[in-house]
Structure 1
Amino acid sequence: MAGSSQNICLLSVCDATPNSFGSFEEFLVALSEKLRQEGWIHVIIFRGKPIEEVEKSLLSQGAKIRTMKPSKLGAVNFVQFYKIIKEIQPNYIHFHFYPIYSIVNYLSFLFNVKIIYTDHMGSRKPKSTFKKIIRKPYYLTYSKLFSCGIEKIVCVSEFVKSKYSREYGINPKKMCVIYNGINIKRFQKKLNIKDIRKKYNLEEDLIITCIGLRFDKGPHCLIKAAPLILQKVPNVKFVLVGDGKFKNDLEKQIDDYKVRDHIIMTGTLTDVTDIYSVSSCVVVPSICEEAFCFIVAEAMAMEVPVIAFDSGAIKEVIHNKFRVIPKNHIVLADRVVEILKEGNASDKKEMRAHIIKNFPLEKCANEHILLYRNLLKKK
């Protein structure tokens, strides 16, 4: 398939099974649409069969879908991908959520194919001193063995690029930054506010939202800050969106801090735009280092003020850096109170304009197309 510009083929390999129509799935659909318009072929490999909505959307844009469950053994993956590449003959293989250093990269020497990676993940601190000590030499060793076949590594923020260079020993020349994008049309403020409030039993005027109930997303930090906020702004409801194992710990903490009457837990939502539309502010108390943070971009696109811990790439995404704070629940409470009392309408319009300019889905897809074109020209 490498001969004509009309049959250039991209193989996107994703170690994921889409069970919702999230931001990554929207990116694949947008990219597939651009590739179809260019006359390119797009083959996508998922770990498992995607949900029907994702599958239909991709197929409608001309994408072809296959499934393959990767092995923990690099040699097994090498053989599987060897067979797939021999059959499909792609010009590019773009790995998403795969480990960057593996024997799979040697496939670039057996086929005329350019290998690209994006891992989309942030940074977590090593859980032990031993892991902290061996992390850098481990990755430096692997970089010597397996980096030679990599054409380019896409970083979703400058933070990720810095992490790769610092911790993984990757040559900066092999990296480029393409920020994630969001669907601007989907993330815009809804007008049926009364109906949404009734649906979720949100009678209070002031709504503070936190999305993601995993420990590393820091919802417990908001619970800890809640009594301090309520002392100064009593008429507040805290909306926690999501589910998971950490929910039981949060339930106990909610009772310990005696804020049960002010908490609504929605569970997992297929569409969070309702909650964004009625939120007075969105809190992002991540204690992990965020690679990008879709929540920040989504909330600002819907004209909702964001207060976020200083985690990873959040400073690169947020409009007002005054709202990036240290990882401290007391500071969080103080800043929430300030935001609730100031209510700056003009700033809300600026937030959406900031996202439209810097992080639209179309820009993200276009920059990927440009990257592929430039790599095709490279000898």
Structure 2
Amino acid sequence: MVSLARPFLADPAFVAKAAAGTPERINTCIGCNQACLDHTFSGRIASCLVNPRAAHETELIIGPTVTRKRIAVVGAGPAGLAFATTAASRGHAVTLFEAADMIGGQLNVALQVPGKFEFAETLRYFGRRLEETGVELRLGHRVTAPELAAGSFDEVIIAAGVTPRTPEIPGLDHPSVVSYLDVLRDRKPVGLTVAILGAGGIGFDVAEFLTAPADEDPLNVSEFLEHWGVDTAYANPGGITKPIEEAPPRQVTMLQRKASKIGAGLGKTTGWIHRTELARRGVQMIPGVNYQRIDDAGLHVRLTGKDGAVHDHVIAADTFVLCTGQDPLRELHDELAELETGSHLIGGADVAAELDAKRAIDQGTRLAARL
């Protein structure tokens, strides 16, 4: 017997596609829990990150369009992909512009993080959907506002994503300072001691990336079982044995401006895993930090103790990684407005909040269902 639950939220046609011999058409569950179990434990309707129609089928209706439109979409990240494929499936003529030479946007960044390799399945699915729905894909094309304004498009969708936010801290031009994109996307060299400024979802992703074993294989089942102390031979009570722990390749410290618990905003059903894993890897977490400056001595901070006393401290590290938020990329939207051409903002270009693929795919799908 094969028992499936979450995979049917991701794709209710799972069995039909498998039976037809077309498994590459299946919208694969990525095991994120963000819209299913996390919603359930928050008293919300369970749905699915990769399929926002799950449990919303009667309200989010995607049917043939009455009036066929020519639509331009800028950005092939999760929001742009969801909109383009949904709109094209309804009968619209969609052109998708992407400055990079591949689709995915921020999903390609997420793929670099240990435990998120399943996003490759989402990209595989969207790649197939682009072909099936007839979207005209223009990779390596940084489209301009005048080009869009002159293109006779009925609608323009801006899904250009986000850019890392640069905080106002003196010394950010120091050679020891890099952004999370420098680390995850561009693979810039990182030292053996690291301080991460920002402890949101991206900060945790960077910490996991920097402390993961160099030879970690996400598909190695026996390695996974040993790491988490799972005894499949049941030689120990409950099938639990002592986990095998490897020394992390780096010493990492995570810093947060807020005085609240670090990691409090992570997913309800998965946050504890990330906090536990980083604790096992010896990652130090310090909340309530006021950043002063960065120089050759390190990061100068001001800390407020539990007794209310303020202490100045210098955190020495080889590398300082900025995970201090994102800003939306809206330049095209503003330029089009000056040319008296309207456009819609979706995904990170609308609201820059972490790497929120759930909101991006939902927003793109819903807008495509309305237009």
The higher relative CO (CA closer than 8 Å, separation ≥ 6) is in 2
More helix by share: 1
> TM-score normalized by structure 1?
0.29
Q: Give the TM-score taking structure 2 as reference length.
A: 0.30
